[in-house]
Amino acid sequence: MEFSEKQLEILHVAEKLFATSGFDGTSVRDIAHEAQVNVAMINYYFGSKDKLLDDLFTYRVEKFKMDESILQLTIPVMDILDEMVKSYIKYMNSSLAIYHILAIEAGVKKRLMLSDSYKNLKKHNLNVISSILQKGVDAGEFRSGNDPILIHATMMGTFMNFQMNRSFLKSELNLTTDEEYSQYMESTLVIHLQRTIKALLTYEY
Amino acid sequence: MEFSEKQLEILHVAEKLFATSGFDGTSVRDIAHEAQVNVAMINYYFGSKDKLLDDLFTYRVEKFKMDESILQLTIPVMDILDEMVKSYIKYMNSSLAIYHILAIEAGVKKRLMLSDSYKNLKKHNLNVISSILQKGVDAGEFRSGNDPILIHATMMGTFMNFQMNRSFLKSELNLTTDEEYSQYMESTLVIHLQRTIKALLTYEY
Amino acid sequence: MEFSEKQLEILHVAEKLFATSGFDGTSVRDIAHEAQVNVAMINYYFGSKDKLLDDLFTYRVEKFKMDESILQLTIPVMDILDEMVKSYIKYMNSSLAIYHILAIEAGVKKRLMLSDSYKNLKKHNLNVISSILQKGVDAGEFRSGNDPILIHATMMGTFMNFQMNRSFLKSELNLTTDEEYSQYMESTLVIHLQRTIKALLTYEY
Amino acid sequence: MEFSEKQLEILHVAEKLFATSGFDGTSVRDIAHEAQVNVAMINYYFGSKDKLLDDLFTYRVEKFKMDESILQLTIPVMDILDEMVKSYIKYMNSSLAIYHILAIEAGVKKRLMLSDSYKNLKKHNLNVISSILQKGVDAGEFRSGNDPILIHATMMGTFMNFQMNRSFLKSELNLTTDEEYSQYMESTLVIHLQRTIKALLTYEY
DNA sequence: AATGAATGAGACTTCATTCAT
DNA sequence: TATGAATGAAGTCTCATTCAT
């Protein structure tokens, strides 16, 4: 799907506002005002508020697909794992708005959950993780029997927890700006997750 | 604060509906109808819809306070850790409705985040975790230098991830009923988290 | 169904405006303004604009049921026929507004046509006419083989034609006021219809 | 007035939609879509939605003018009357769409009623009827004192009644298709009206 | 203490029309 | 001549809240 420049602006504004105030908490008027367009234009361009959310999701969903080419890299599987975690967090962090929306609205049953592209995204990412695990088991580096679902939930859940408790954690971690917070996630949090997953995969009980 | 029987019924209904449809997605009329009370009664009892959410939170918040008495148990620190994880997930799972609300609405900046009781809850739980970590380090069982914030984020984030992707994961895990899903979380998920945290705390890089 | 005084006022105003400007041509705002009530009150009382039309119809429909007691009168069947025509036109004329609406909106397929009470009304009236015809045939006064549907269509169609061309016919008939027009219909038009139907029923080809 | 091919297509589509859903119930977008033209083109070609209705009326009005040449036929006046009724119903039936519109929208005061061509049409038709009546009286076949207005109202009203209660009458008369219904009107209904008017004009009270 | 009635504000959406090209 | 883009106005309806009782 192709979006005009105005449409893109609307999408970006909507993304920000949905992330800040939720879908129901954001009015079409708010979006129109912030995007400096006519109220009617949102419906003119997207048909309805619901379809705007759909389009926003479609527009952003590609970003969250894990890059499966890392599987082909001729580097130790441990490094592939590290790379995967790092990229995933980095991508999510770079468009945290849509992820925030996704996390919030996915819970409210009626909406995105039903979306096929959402399911496909999830399945794709689980497959990538699954392949890495298999590669590690084959190389004798990982214990077998680990569930990619649990790995993914740990990685993504921990990240989301940081997103959703931003203001509390910011003060708790003495991080003053959003940039610092962002850097924290891309460094400290990434390392934590890399260590956590690695420990889990190699730990002997 | 003391709530009358009618007030409690309203709170319980509100909890369910907020969890299902979000705060904005639930109207005062919906609550009144489901609780079989007059629409005006919600405002009469709670002042406003916002204050109803506050009261609901206050009413439930105690549940989510980690039990600090486990620190006094004369059992190996490893078992204390296991117990903490197990109880925490169990409590959250037993009142997932409020937790769902909390997770969703906490993200929407204007609301609960500001609440002092929310901050206090978080701080309390971090302190309990911190104490356990210290105990483990003192006993020579845990590596030092672990941040309770990261531990907590991992535990709670992973759990929340299971909450928010319920329908997708249910089908992915071949769990047909909510009871099965609930059992999965209280068994498999708990074990996963226990292992994960333990691995992390003892792993040598 | 019971209507409060305010509801009745709204119904009356709606009746007038629907008759004047059609259903689509009348806005809820118009009704609210003319009835001097809040715009929200229309929905508060009736649920929706569509349901308002339903209720209006239900409220008025009784008026248009032909009085079947005339069948019991011990007078010549010819007089029963005259009486039927006279009463029918008189009743229709006394609440022409709703009849206007009915005629107009019945044509627009989606609406009232489907309503059961509309069908029942029609069937009832056809039955009364049918009974009168039978009585006349039995008495040897009417030819047999007349279809009540055609009789009814003639009577009602002619009346409606006068309703729908009011302003043209008013000037054509040199009637200056609506009262004069109304009187014309209750006298001249009634006589015309009585004669027409009588002629039709007794005429030998 | 001359209409281009595109304009004609628009007119035809508009005619159909107005007849189906009423003037207010039909949007310019609907027309444009069905006619496969740009939305702006309706205004470009016709100036406004209202003027489109005017033009549609002007375009169709000729059809409803009674053919006055029948007055010159050297056949019994009774046959002239029969012919007039037959042709009138046939013409109306052949373009019932516009007639439907006319009947509906003529009632809504603001519009077509004001149109001069509408008045002229009515006057023309009344004159034709009047001439036939006179011819019959002169020939000693009709009673004098009959008002052409009442004759016309009876004929047109009865026909319109069949138009506006199509779906009810279709089921009542066991006619399954629109074609059957159409045939019914051009045969049974025509005969009914011919008999009715003839009876009325010759009946002795 | 409790509630039915009422309402102002604002939600989303559709409309006929205009404008720049 | 023709049209895609854009928009102000208005539509219906729902909302949380208040008020009189």
Residue type, D1: M
pLDDT digits (tens, 9 = 90+) for B149-201: 999 999 999 998 998 888 889 989 999 998 999 999 999 999 999 999 999 99
Q: How far does Cα D66 stand from its chain's mean position?
A: 10
Query: What is the CATH topology of the domain spanning D65-202?
Result: Tetracycline Repressor; domain 2 (1.10.357)
A1 touches chain B (CB under 8 A): no
A115 near B173, Cβ under 8 Å? no
Is the minimum distance from the CB of A171 to strand E below 7 Å? Answer: no
pLDDT digits (tens, 9 = 90+) for C134-193: 999 999 999 999 999 999 999 999 998 998 888 889 989 999 998 999 999 999 999 999
Tell me which residue has tokens 């009618």.
B6
- Cβ burial of A44 (10 Å; 0-12, 13-18, 19+) is exposed
- Cβ burial of A30 (10 Å; 0-12, 13-18, 19+) is middle
Share of chain C above pLDDT 70, in %: 94
D113 near D106, Cβ under 8 Å? yes
The DSSP code for A143 is -
Q: How far does Cα B178 stand from its chain's mean position?
A: 18
Reported residue count of chain C is 205
Q: A63 vs chain B: nearest CA distance in angstroms?
A: 19
- Which chains does chain D touch, 3 or more C-beta pairs < 8 A? C
Tell me which residue has tokens 């006394």.
C94
b or e along C93-116 (b: 16 or more beta carbons within 10 Å of the residue's beta carbon)? Answer: beebbbbbbbbbbbbbeebbbebe
**Higher-confidence position of C92 and B1:** C92
CA dist B23 and B15 (Å) reads 9
**What residues does each domain of chain C span?**
5-59, 65-202
pLDDT digits (tens, 9 = 90+) for B44-99: 999 999 999 988 988 888 777 888 898 888 899 999 999 999 999 988 888 777 87
Query: Residue A162 belongs to what H/E stretch?
Result: helix A148-164
Which numeric CATH code is attached to C5-59? Answer: 1.10.10.60
| Residues of chain D with confidence (pLDDT) below 50 | none
Largest CA distance in chain B: 62
Reported as a pLDDT band with limits 50, 70 and 90, residue C14 is very high
Residues contacting residue C15 through CB under 8 Å, at least 6 positions apart:
C56, C60, C97, C98, C101
A129 near A148, Cβ under 8 Å? yes
State whether C108 and D21 contact (CB < 8 Å): yes
B130 touches chain A (CB under 8 A): no
| Residues of chain A with confidence (pLDDT) below 70 | 1, 106-115, 205
Chain A residues close to B203, C-beta within 8 Å = 195, 198-199, 202-203
CA dist D134 and D141 (Å) reads 10
CA dist D63 and D61 (Å) reads 5
Angle at A190 between CA A185 and CA A196, to 5 degrees: 130
- How is residue A73 written in tokens? 């890299």
D98 near D57, Cβ under 8 Å? yes
State whether A119 and B20 contact (CB < 8 Å): no
In the prediction, which pLDDT does C92 show? 85
State whether A122 and B168 contact (CB < 8 Å): yes
A168 touches chain B (CB under 8 A): yes
D38 near D116, Cβ under 8 Å? no
CA distances from D39 to C116, C180, D11 (A): 38, 46, 14
CA dist C140 and C130 (Å) reads 15
Backbone CA torsion sign across C96, C196, C171, D114: positive
D196 touches chain C (CB under 8 A): yes
Residues 106-125 on B with a CB inside 8 Å of A are 106-110, 113, 118-119, 122
Chain C residues close to D165, C-beta within 8 Å = 106, 122, 153
